[in-house]
Amino acid sequence: MLPIHLISGPRNLSTTLMYSFDSRCDTLAYDEPLYAHYLKYTGLDHPGREEVLRKMSSDATSIIDSLFLKPSAHADKPYVFIKNMAHHLKGIHIDWLLDLPTILLIRDPERIVRSFSQVMPDMTIDDIGIELQYEIWQQFLNAQKPIAILDSANILENPSSVMKQLCDFLGIPFTEKMLSWKAGPRTIDGCWANYWYANVHRSTGIGQVKKMPQKNTGQELKPHLKAIVDQAMPLYHKMAAHAIQAK
């Protein structure tokens, strides 16, 4: 069984990609299995925090061992897709990542900050995970291990092209089922879906998730948010230069 690990920032297309892989007949998807670990480790008060901690294990070691390193115990399907947030890896040694097919999903930091700050107004750069994504990318490069980088803007420009190239990278067959699905929630959704997944629940495929709103250049970011964007932007540009391109 092949575990496919997506490491995303928030307010991106991560749930859309999870739905894309879940639409395959040969793949089982998991939604942010390390979320409870992250909330317990950081003490942050995210929407639905108590429900997440009540319904999910926060034992990162056992989750990584059973789901990431031994996924055959969870399904009889050949592929397991694990949607993860970069910041959920906080406090976890990440050397084990080097042996997994890994995808970094990135987005223009200003778009992330403008969107995420509407829910988390006191956010920090740690909350968008880009520094850890960059660190993971560097670890893969230093170890000469392959890693895929996806930019959400490229996915939306040509979903079919980017998803075909991603499947080629993963060594799995592409199927058109990855591009469309029925609107509505899914059984794989985490218990936090009511707080975060309204847009994707209205979608019927990657092509129907319309291009993300343009930056509101007429409204200045608050100073602490602008500082996050300024700090994150160079890291984003370095990774974006190596992202799978729409053709």
109-167 per-position pLDDT tens digit: 999 999 889 888 889 999 999 999 999 999 999 999 999 999 999 999 999 999 999 99
Which residue in 228, 174, 235 sits closest to 206, CA to CA?
Answer: 174
Amino acid 211: pLDDT: 46
**Which of 52-66, 127-141, 216-230 shows the lowest mean pLDDT across its residues?**
216-230
What DSSP character marks residue 231? Answer: H
Q: How far is 124 from 141, CA to CA, in rounded Å?
A: 27
Tell me the domain boundaries of the chain: 2-240
Rounded average pLDDT over 67-94? 85
Q: Which two tokens stand for residue 96?
A: 């084990």
Domain 2-240 has CATH 3.40.50.300: yes
**Region of 184 on the Ramachandran plot (φ > 0 left; ψ -120 to 50 alpha; else beta):** left
How many residues in the chain? 247
Q: In this structure, what is the dihedral angle of CA atoms 146, 26, 73, 4, given to the nearest 10 degrees?
A: 20
